């Protein structure tokens, strides 16, 4: 075989190899599976929130939405489920996730918001986590002047500038709040049920019977 043919063959092999390598890098950069996991290095806060959103649920509200929940989760406030295999498999790098609860207290001046509990966990999308209500915030314990806001988000705990700004204007019909960040994967708001009847002392003008204190079955 002539030298010309040898050189041509070598160049052809080199081009083919570079083409395969380039295609592999392109797939990894686009978030495709890499070594059996989904590449997430360098994800933005918004991308992390998008991945979290379908994995987070609030089982205690599912009866109102007509969706069945497993008996193991029915008393949980928040559940983080394994991600769907159709979504690229588990993450290559575990994601830091915060689950935070705020107590909402209605007064004559508006609604106060106080963080009462938060959990930090790391997940790659393969584990099931169930988190119960903080004491006093389960459905059977909240009074007419008490509500709850819970959120699932990535990274560190929210700074003051990332919290909702209009929380003091809640009504019993409010269903949405706007956080000042793209990190929120999912949240659920339950406003005080009768804020118009709450006095300056944060108690209803007509006090309901005090509920029995109970701990949710799945509370850590």
Smallest Cα–Cα separation from 153: which of 44, 76, 52, 16? 52
Q: What is the CB neighbour count within 10 angstroms for residue 110? A: 14
Which pLDDT value is given to residue 35? 61
Averaged pLDDT score across all residues of the chain:
78
**Three-state secondary-structure class, residue 93:** coil
pLDDT in tens, 126-143: 999 999 999 999 988 999
List % helix, strand, coil for the chain (3-state, nearest 5): 25, 25, 50
Which pLDDT value is given to residue 211? 43
Which range among 2-16, 25-39, 198-212 shows the weakest confidence by mean pLDDT? 2-16
Which pLDDT value is given to residue 29? 43
DSSP 204: B
Residue 65 has pLDDT above 60, yes or no: no
- Band of residue 203 on the pLDDT scale cut at 50, 70, 90: low
Domain coordinates of the chain in residue numbers?
Answer: 45-197
- Band of residue 74 on the pLDDT scale cut at 50, 70, 90: low
């Amino acid at each position: 075989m002539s030298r010309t043919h040898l050189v041509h063959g070598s160049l052809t092999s080199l081009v083919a190899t570079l083409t395969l390598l380039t295609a592999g890098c392109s797939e990894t950069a686009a978030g495709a599976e890499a070594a059996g996991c989904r590449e997430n290095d360098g994800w933005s806060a918004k991308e992390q929130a998008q991945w979290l959103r379908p994995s987070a649920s609030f089982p205690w509200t599912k009866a109102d939405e007509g969706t069945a929940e497993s008996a193991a989760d029915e008393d949980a406030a928040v559940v983080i489920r394994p991600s769907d295999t159709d979504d690229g498999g588990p993450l290559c790098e575990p994601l830091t996730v915060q689950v935070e609860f705020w107590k909402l207290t209605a007064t004559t001046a508006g609604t106060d918001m106080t963080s009462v509990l938060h959990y930090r966990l790391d997940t790659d999308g393969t584990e099931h986590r169930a988190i119960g209500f903080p004491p006093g915030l389960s459905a059977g314990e909240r009074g007419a002047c008490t509500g709850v806001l819970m959120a699932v988000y990535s990274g560190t705990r929210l700074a003051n500038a990332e919290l909702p700004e209009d929380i003091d204007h809640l009504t019993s019909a409010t269903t949405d709040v706007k956080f000042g960040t793209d990190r929120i994967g999912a949240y659920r708001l339950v406003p005080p049920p009768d804020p118009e009847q709450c006095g300056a002392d944060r108690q209803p003008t007509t006090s309901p019977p005090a509920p029995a204190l109970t701990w949710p079955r799945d509370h850590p």
